Structure 1
Amino acid sequence: MSRVFLGLGSNIDAEQNLAAGIARLSQQYSLLRVSPWYRSPAMGFDGPDFINLVVEIECACSLAELAAGLKQLEFDFGRSADAVKYSSRALDIDILLFDDLAGEFAGLQLPRSDIQQFAFVLRPLLDIFPDGVDPADGTPLTHYWPALTDQPLYPVRASQNSIARG
């Protein structure tokens, strides 16, 4: 079984779509933990705030199979194949970490560079993986946090993130 951390985000009916997305993930994979949820402004375009979180799953599939399954899940939630990179999303799912893979695999760069660039990715990841290290060089993930603390990030009320938290 592979240990995987996924970043989820939405800014279209975010709470409903994220809850439904987590439910679908739990039907397809072994859902281990769900981070607290955070709200942050849309980046790269004018749009509603996003809600982001991280989930930890275990899966018996390959990275390529997982990526294809997650892409299909995004399509099921209305994402189009030609979606603009910076645009509103009902459900966006990114593979952040897949076991200890580092490099390019199945067309994906792992670990995902967003971990070092965006508070809305790193904070929820640290919430459920506080002792995590960057598989590329062994750097503790906590090392990246001080550079991101100036990015706006707001916890979502506990009553809104009570789904399957570990």
Structure 2
Amino acid sequence: MYVYFSLGTNLGNKEQNLRLAVQYIEKRIGKVISLSAFYATAPWGFSSDNAFLNAAVCIETMLSPLEVLSESQSIEREMGRIHKSVNGVYSDRVIDVDLLLYDDLILDTPTLKLPHPLMQERAFVMEPLAEIAPDVMHPVLGKTIQELYLGTFT
């Protein structure tokens, strides 16, 4: 199964934070298939003096979607993420690991929604994702990642 994550950080050594997150993901979730460039972006949904560094990564995994979610949340905690965003309230963070896509699975549970319900609204997610997965089809919207990115943000 191919899993796509969005990674973000705006505290500490940002490049190191992203590289460490990728190492943890590879060790605990699966083999890294591709990693985007790192993109400097403004905070989204809140004000901060700290710019973000964002990336997208594709992983091949044998874990179930809920196991992937559990492992990614453990990685966030181990790297120092104290609070998850709740009800649209965002804040500075050492690392954010968001599960975007799990193959073409559509899932809507209280714990996990796939594909990520806000991914297509966020340039900081779509630009790096379009770099590594331009031809991947969004299973709900029926457009490729490249089509969604170009149609919304360019």
Q: Secondary structure at the match of 2:45?
A: coil
CA distance in 1, matches of 2:119, 2:141: 14
Q: TM-score, normalised by structure 1?
A: 0.82
Aligned runs of 1:144-163 on 2, under 5 Å? 144-145=148-149, 146-149=151-154
1:64·1:106 contact (CA, 8 Å) conserved in 2? no
Deviation at 1:65, TM superposition (A): 0.8
CA distance in 2, matches of 1:31, 1:78: 22
Q: Does the alignment pair 1:19 with 2:24?
A: no
1:114·1:121 contact (CA, 8 Å) conserved in 2? no
Higher RCO (C-alpha 8 Å, min separation 6): 1
Q: Secondary structure at the match of 1:64?
A: helix
Q: TM-score, normalised by structure 2?
A: 0.88
Q: Secondary structure at the match of 1:143?
A: helix
Which sits farther off after the overlay, 18-27 or 138-147? Answer: 138-147
Identity value in percent:
32
Aligned runs of 1:1-166 on 2, under 5 Å? 2-13=1-12, 14-28=14-28, 29-47=30-48, 48-81=50-83, 85-105=89-109, 107-145=111-149, 146-149=151-154
CA distance in 2, matches of 1:26, 1:97: 17
Deviation at 1:82, TM superposition (A): 6.1
CA distance in 2, matches of 1:68, 1:82: 13
Unaligned runs of 5+ in 1: 150-166
1:101·1:110 contact (CA, 8 Å) conserved in 2? yes
Change over 3 Å in CA distance of 1:117–1:19 after alignment to 2:
same
Unaligned runs of 5+ in 2: none
Alignment: residue pair count:
148
1:37·1:51 contact (CA, 8 Å) conserved in 2? yes
Runs of 4+ that moved beyond 3 A: 81-85
CA distance in 2, matches of 1:65, 1:106: 15
CA distance in 1, matches of 2:45, 2:69: 24
